[in-house]
Amino acid sequence: MSGDRGIDPLPGLSSWCEIEVTAVRANLALLRRRLAPGTRLGIVVKSNAYGHGMALCAREFLAAGADWLIVNSASEAACLREAEVRSPLYICARVPAWEAASAAQSGARVVLCSGEDARMLARAGREAGQSVRVHIKLETGTHRQGVSVAEGLELARLVGQLEGISLEGLTTHYADIEDTTDHAFARRQLELLEEGRTAFAENGIDLPMVHSANSAATLLWPATHGALVRVGIAAYGLWPSRETYATALQIGIGAGDRWLPELVPVLSWRARIGQIKEVAAGAYVGYGRTFRATYPMRIGILPVGYFEGYDRRLSNVAHVLVNGVRAPVRGRVCMNMAMVDLTHIPEVEVGSAVTLLGREGEEEVSADQWAAWMGGINYEVVARLHADLPRLLRREDGSLVDGEERG
């Protein structure tokens, strides 16, 4: 968001997140350019859309050209259906027995890992009056859900014998494509998936879809794209890792012109200053007396803490933006409060808006910066933002609307 459009939202909010429509559209246009014609663009909206707001983002991703949406559970699929999202849904985690009926009723595709699950899903499909489409998860090196090629063939034969279930795809997931610049292991995983595809074909088993690509694979390796890509963090404008970015620079995505994608962060997080206190030199700020003022200070108290998603590891190391100026966090982040130094920033008062995550003018506090401060990854920065924080949609004209009320 540019600084000249203002940051104040609808009245009455002390803290809120903003989802930028133009960023969503820019990221999906970029991703679409990476795909061969016919490859479906799937966007992962699990875990409250990585903290961005699931229903809101689902609608915006579809409006921007997504073909499929990917969730983690039948309950998430049901929530999207209740929000009148009608696109194809894919549940990427195993569906337990108590969610089978819901999965079938939602019409979602389901990952399949065992014969027991096949029978369970077939029963749920019959009861729902439809066929549950399943994608067999092939084990290629992650060792979480997958099955061997031989086990996959047995599963496929079983599915073919059952009513209420049908085989739609073969899939796998990369274990080490983001955290390294050496992609030999990922290439071997792709080879194993291709060997699985060949084995299925030789046994007369039709596979309408074969897919494996996550964000890093989608950006870096067109050979992984297959029938569907399953893009997560990149759709939200964040690089999967420094290694992914470094590899993109090295190989020159776009080859001839060495084009490098410019991902645009979708989310900003703001809060209003709830109180301003004068702190004398030598006085302490916050729990544990971890910060002591060395000069007379003006401290702003923000109405957010680790409950809301402002991580405790940001204590005494992070900055927020106030009037486009960096204001350091002072003292420990509390459960529902954080304190920042306003001494050097003029024209700040109670009620002034502060940027915790995002851009103001020429300054930015990014999820990657948070991750560095926390010793974590940008995924957890955004995914841990509390679901109760209002998500507002920033439209192309710069105006803010309640994302959940948008038609």
Q: What is the pLDDT of residue 10?
A: 65
| Structural domain includes residue 227 | yes
227-274, pLDDT tens digit by residue?
999 999 999 999 999 999 888 887 766 544 455 668 999 999 999 999
Burial of residue 393 (CB within 10 Å: 0-12, 13-18, 19+) is: buried
Chain CA centroid to CA 91, Å: 15
- Sorting pLDDT into bands at 50, 70 and 90, what band is 359? very high
Same domain membership, residue 284 and residue 197: no
One-letter amino acid for residue 165 of the chain: I
Q: Which entry of 46, 50, 310, 379 is annotated as an active-site residue?
A: 46
Looking only at the bridges linking them, the beta strands covering 284-285 and 391-394 are: unpaired
pLDDT of 390 > 60? The answer is yes
| Structural domain includes residue 398 | yes
Q: What is the pLDDT of residue 207?
A: 95
- Contacts of range 119-123, beta carbons closer than 8 Å, 24 or more positions apart: 119/158, 119/162, 121/95, 121/164, 121/165, 122/159, 122/162, 122/163, 122/164, 122/165, 123/164
Evaluate whether 85 touches 58 at the Cβ level (below 8 Å): yes
The mean per-residue pLDDT over the stretch 386-393 comes to 96
pTM of the model as a whole? 0.94
**Which domain-ending residue is among 203, 225, 257?**
257
Q: What is the pLDDT of residue 250?
A: 78
The mean per-residue pLDDT over the stretch 194-201 comes to 97
Residue range of the domain that includes 122: 21-257
DSSP reduced 3-state for 121: helix
Same domain membership, residue 283 and residue 251: no
Q: CATH no. for residue 98?
A: 3.20.20.10
Q: Which entry of 90, 245, 277, 287 is annotated as an active-site residue?
A: 287
CA distance 361 to 222: 36
273-303, pLDDT tens digit by residue?
999 999 999 999 999 999 999 999 999 999 9
Same domain membership, residue 359 and residue 313: yes
26-69, pLDDT tens digit by residue?
999 999 998 999 999 999 999 999 999 999 999 999 999 999 99
Neighbouring C-beta atoms of residue 195, cutoff 10 Å: 13
Same domain membership, residue 281 and residue 226: no
The mean per-residue pLDDT over the stretch 159-178 comes to 96
Evaluate whether 354 touches 302 at the Cβ level (below 8 Å): yes
Same domain membership, residue 277 and residue 236: no
Residue 287 catalytic? Answer: yes
Evaluate whether 338 touches 302 at the Cβ level (below 8 Å): yes
The number of domains in the chain is 2
Burial of residue 183 (CB within 10 Å: 0-12, 13-18, 19+) is: buried
| Structural domain includes residue 1 | no
**Which domain-ending residue is among 257, 275, 308?**
257
One-letter amino acid for residue 314 of the chain: L
DSSP 36: P
Evaluate whether 83 touches 66 at the Cβ level (below 8 Å): no
Q: What is the pLDDT of residue 6?
A: 54
DSSP reduced 3-state for 178: coil
The mean per-residue pLDDT over the stretch 69-74 comes to 98
- Sorting pLDDT into bands at 50, 70 and 90, what band is 5? very low
105-153, pLDDT tens digit by residue?
999 999 999 999 999 999 999 999 999 999 999 999 999 889 999 999 9
Same domain membership, residue 67 and residue 215: yes
Q: What is the pLDDT of residue 402?
A: 85
Same domain membership, residue 151 and residue 69: yes
Same domain membership, residue 244 and residue 160: yes
Residues paired with residue 394 on neighbouring β-strands, in sequence order = 20, 400
| Structural domain includes residue 241 | yes
pLDDT of 4 > 50? The answer is no
368-382, pLDDT tens digit by residue?
999 999 999 999 999
Same domain membership, residue 78 and residue 119: yes
